[in-house]
Amino acid sequence: MPSGSVSGERIHVQVRPPTIDDVADAAGVSTATVSRVLNGGRVAEATRSRVATAMAQLGYRRNPHARGLVTGSSGTIGVLVPDVAGPLYAQMARGIEDVLDPLGMQFFLATDARNPERSHAALGSLLERRVDALILIGNQIPSDALRALIGDRAPLILVERETNDDVAAPTIELDNHGGAEAATRHLIERGYRRIAHVAGPRRAGAARIAGYHAAHAAAGLTAGPTIPAGFTEESGLAAAETLLGYDDVDAVFCINDRVALGLMHGLIGGGRRPGHDVAIVGFDDLPFARYLNPPLTTVRQDARALGRCAAEYAIAALEDRSPPHTTVVPTELVIRASSPMARG
C-alpha cells in the first residue's frame, strides 16, 4: 500500500516523455497518421490540426533514436578540428552551424589536437555516433588510413587538409599561396627590399612560403631569410631573437597574427620599432590585429565562410548532389600602419 501523500510533500516522478502512441490516442488516429503529419505526408487538413493540437498539448517531441533506427540516419554531422580553442576553428564551427541549423541538423565537435592517435579515436567515436557526414578540418591522417577507417560510412568533406596525398573527397582550401604572395608583393611595392619570412609548418605553411617566394621572383628580387616557427606568440618571440641578428632585414611577413604579435614584442624588446625600423605583415586578421600598436597589416581569411562552404558540401553529398572536388577560398589583404612606405 502506497503511503498517503503528506501535505506539502512533493513527489518527484521521472515522467515518461509522450510517444507517438500517446499522440495518436489523444487525437483518435493511428500512429501512421501522426507520423505522416510529422513528416509532411498526405493528411486531411482536419486530421492534421487535431494531431497538431494533441502534440502541442502533450508537449510531444519525436524520439530521434527511434527515428534514427528506422531511417538509418541521425540528422547529425561530425566535425573534427585540431583544437576548439583556435579562434579560426571556432569561426569555422560557426559557419557550419549557420547552414546546419536551419535544416534542423546538429553537429558533433571532436578535437584531435593534431595527434594522430587521438585523431583515430575521435574519428571512431564520431562514426560510432552514426553521423551522416564528416567534416575534417586541418586533418593529417594519411589517405589510406582515412579510407580504411571511414569506408563508405559517411560522405567526407576535407577542409585545409594538412597532408599531400590525395583523397577522393571534396576539399576546401584557403588561398594560402595567393594570400602570402599578396602580402609579400605589398611589402615590395612599399619599397622594402630585404623581407624575411617567419614560416609555419605543414602544408599551409609550405604554400605560404611558396607564395612569398613567388612574389620575390615576380619582382626579380632575392628572398630574405626564412625562419621556421610554429603558430603561437611564443614562437614569434623566439623568431625575434634570430631576426635581431640580421640588421639588413627591413620587413617581415609572418605565418600568422599570433606569431606576428610575439615577433613584434621581441623586436621591441630588442630595441627595434615595428612599423618604423621594420615593417610587419601577419595572416588571419584576428580581432586584436587592428588594435595593436602599430595596427597590423594582415591577410584576412574568412573562416566562417570556409565552414559554411564545408557544411554546404556535406549537405550536397548527403543529397547525392556531388560537390566540387576542390574549392579555393580567396583571402584579402588588409593594409594597416605596420607596413608604411619604406623610408629608403
Partner DNA sequence: TTGTAAGCGTTATCAA
Partner DNA sequence: TTGATAACGCTTACAA
Task: List residues binding DNA (CB under 7 A).
Answer: 16-17, 19-21, 28-36, 38-39, 41-44, 46-48, 60-63, 65-67, 69-72
Q: How far is the CB of 312 from a second copy (least distance, A)?
A: 18
Task: Return the CA Rg of the chain.
Answer: 27
As measured in angstroms, the least distance from the Cβ of 121 to DNA is 19
In the complex, the smallest distance separating the C-beta of residue 255 from a second copy, rounded to whole angstroms, is: 16
Show the CA angle centred on residue 339, arms to residues 227 and 179, nearest 5°: 60
Q: 252 by DSSP, 3-state: which?
A: strand
Residue 129 or 193: which CB sits closer to a second copy? 129
Query: Which option in a second copy, DNA, none does residue 74 bind, with CB closer than 5 to 8 A by kind?
Result: a second copy
Nearer to DNA, 43 or 79 (CB): 43
Tell me which of DNA, a second copy, none is bound by residue 297, counting a contact when its beta carbon lies within the kind-specific cut-off of 5 to 8 angstroms: none
Q: Is 258 one of the binding residues for a second copy (CB under 8 A)?
A: yes
Q: With binding defined as CB under 8 A, does residue 106 bind a second copy?
A: yes
Closest to DNA by CB, 21 vs 277, is: 21
Q: How far is the CB of 134 from DNA (least distance, A)?
A: 19
Burial zone of 59 (CB within 10 Å; 0-12 exposed, 13-18 middle, 19+ buried): exposed
Whole-angstrom distance, CA of residue 133 vs CA of residue 103: 14
Cβ-in-10-Å burial (0-12, 13-18, 19+) of 58 comes to: middle
Instruction: Outline where the chain has alpha helix (H).
Output: 20-27, 31-39, 45-58, 64-71, 87-100, 116-128, 143-150, 176-189, 202-219, 233-243, 257-269, 303-318
Residue whose cell numbers read 594560402: 176
In terms of CB distance, is 11 or 70 closer to DNA? 70
Closest to DNA by CB, 24 or 136: 24
Using CA atoms, how far residue 122 sits from 80, 86, 118, 136, 139, in Å, is 8, 18, 6, 11, 12
User: Could you give the CA distance from residue 139 to residue 146 in angstroms, rounded to a whole number?
Assistant: 10
If DSSP codes are grouped into helix, strand and coil, which group holds residue 46?
A: helix
User: Which CB sits closer to a second copy, 157 or 261?
Assistant: 261
* 193: partner contacted, choices a second copy, DNA, none (Cβ within 5-8 A by kind): none
Binding to a second copy in span 200-239, by CB under 8 A: 232-233, 236-237
Q: What three-state secondary structure class fits 258?
A: helix
* Among 74, 139, 171, 256, contact with a second copy (rule: CB under 8 A): 74
State how far the Cα of 316 lies from the Cα of 39, in Å rounded to an integer.
21
- Find, among 183, 179, 146, 181, the residue nearest to 162 by Cα: 146
Closer by beta carbon to a second copy, 236 or else 323: 236
Site track 114-143 with a second copy (rule: CB under 8 A), x = hit: ----------xx-xxxx-------------
Q: Give the residue, chosen from 38, 52, 90, 337, that forms a contact with a second copy under the rule CB under 8 A.
A: 90
**Is residue 35 within 8 Å of residue 41, measured between CB atoms?**
yes
Rounded to whole angstroms, how far apart are CA atoms 185 and 74? 48
For a second copy, which residue of 147, 153, 203, 272 counts as binding (CB under 8 A)?
A: 153
For a second copy, the binding residues (CB under 8 A) are 12-15, 17, 59, 61-69, 74, 84-87, 90-91, 93-94, 97, 101, 104, 106-111, 124-125, 127-130, 151-153, 232-233, 236-237, 258, 261-262, 264-265, 268, 287-288, 290-293, 295
